[in-house]
Amino acid sequence: LIPQSEDAARGAFARFANEAISPYAAASDAAGAIRPECIEAIRSAGYLGAFLPRDVGGLGLDAVSYGLLTCEMARACSSCRTLMTVHDMVGSAILRWGSRELRSEILPQLATGSLIAAFALSEADAGSDAAAMRATIRRQGEDLILDGVKSWVSYGQTANLFLVFGRSEEGITAVLVSGEQPGITRRAVTEMVGTRAAMMADVRFEACRLSPHSIVGKPGFGLTHIAQTALDHGRYSVGWGAVGIIDAAFAACTAFVRERCQFGTPLVTQPQIRVHLTRMAALARASRLMCREAGLLRQARAPEAIIETMLAKYFAAKSAVSAANAAVQIHGARGLLRSGKPERLLRDAKVTEIIEGTAEMLELLIGEQVSSLGYPI
């Protein structure tokens, strides 16, 4: 049974999303830029860095509550959910691996949203194979020099803090780079059709001079520790985001099939339409339960939390694509209208199968683990 407190939290997050986010989602998507009032609402509600502990200014939400918040945000707008995802991926990496100085300097600013953080791992020739990255971090006297071009950086157009990964003598290293740093140029990526309002950019770092204090964790720990923590957080967030998309698809369909009449009767009376709705309801329930289970394991700091998070993200992302596809189908021609909701949900759902580990990469990672260690069914 779901405890009452979870229902209450979900209700509060849903009201926020309905009032402050939903009304602007279609316009943000059409403009390819999140509306400033959404960022302001998220910021002033304390929903940036909401998982951060209270002593650094966060709301200290437990993992399940944080998941419910993410889900409601995505139900309203996946581009807003993306803001929370990437900002909090950076926050989670600093919280876990940052020096005491970095934690006390940066985390309070992430919690208030005075800093908006972006995650810069991918490159044109280093996607799933992140270890193939070309960006470099060289020592020059006391300083570090960062050079490289990062691709597909969500909120790269506007972020004022980047977590960037590059090759150093010790291996791949993670550094924090201020958006004000000389040597940064941003090229907006306007052709991306999924999470269109997430202000994506390719970001060039050219001879960026950094202090050694900007290193997160130890030099050489970039991929093995820092990126893994961030990606684990990102998968949890994206899994819940996918649940939000399924909820939105289901709600749009149940409203539509009661209104739309063909053959003299509302579509809801047609058995095949009910089959679509049944499948969507099952996908919604299963995805939600898997994400919630992953959340409970995260709260318990159980080692299985990592694989349960991967499984939940994998399943919820596939379910979101399936549910959004069904929503387009149920709406017929209207489902493909740019001004309608189903086609946006389908574009945004597809993103969840690609980011924070593609479906295929998760199959490799989960497959490796379950075939060597087994899996408690």
List, in order, residues 6 or more apart from 188 with CB less than 8 Å away.
157, 199, 200, 201
Tokens of 247: 């909820």
Q: How many CB atoms lie within 10 A of CB 125?
A: 10
Residue nearest to ligand FAD (CB): 127
Q: How many CB atoms lie within 10 A of CB 368?
A: 10
> Which is nearer to ligand FAD, 279 or 347 (by Cβ)?
347
> Least distance in Å: CB of 99 to ligand FAD?
23
Amino acid at 147: D
DSSP assignments along 135-189, one per residue: -EEEEETTEEEEEEEEEEETTTTT-SEEEEEEEETTEEEEEEEETT-TTEEEEE-
> Least distance in Å: CB of 192 to ligand FAD?
6
Residues that bind ligand FAD (CB under 6 A): 86, 119-122, 127-128, 152-154, 192, 194-195, 351, 354-355, 358, 360-361, 364
Tokens of 310: 């991967």
Can you tell me which residue has the tokens 């924070």? Answer: 356
> Which is nearer to ligand FAD, 257 or 355 (by Cβ)?
355
Give how far Cα 93 sits from Cα of 61, 203, 230, 359, Å. Answer: 17, 20, 5, 23
201, containing H or E segment: strand 201-210
Amino acid at 18: N
Can you tell me which residue has the tokens 């990964």? Answer: 165
> Least distance in Å: CB of 198 to ligand FAD?
7
> Which is nearer to ligand FAD, 234 or 342 (by Cβ)?
234
> Which is nearer to ligand FAD, 65 or 309 (by Cβ)?
309
> Least distance in Å: CB of 200 to ligand FAD?
6
Contact 85, 351 (CB under 8 A): no
> Which is nearer to ligand FAD, 337 or 364 (by Cβ)?
364
> Which is nearer to ligand FAD, 38 or 163 (by Cβ)?
163
> Least distance in Å: CB of 193 to ligand FAD?
9
> Which is nearer to ligand FAD, 149 or 286 (by Cβ)?
149
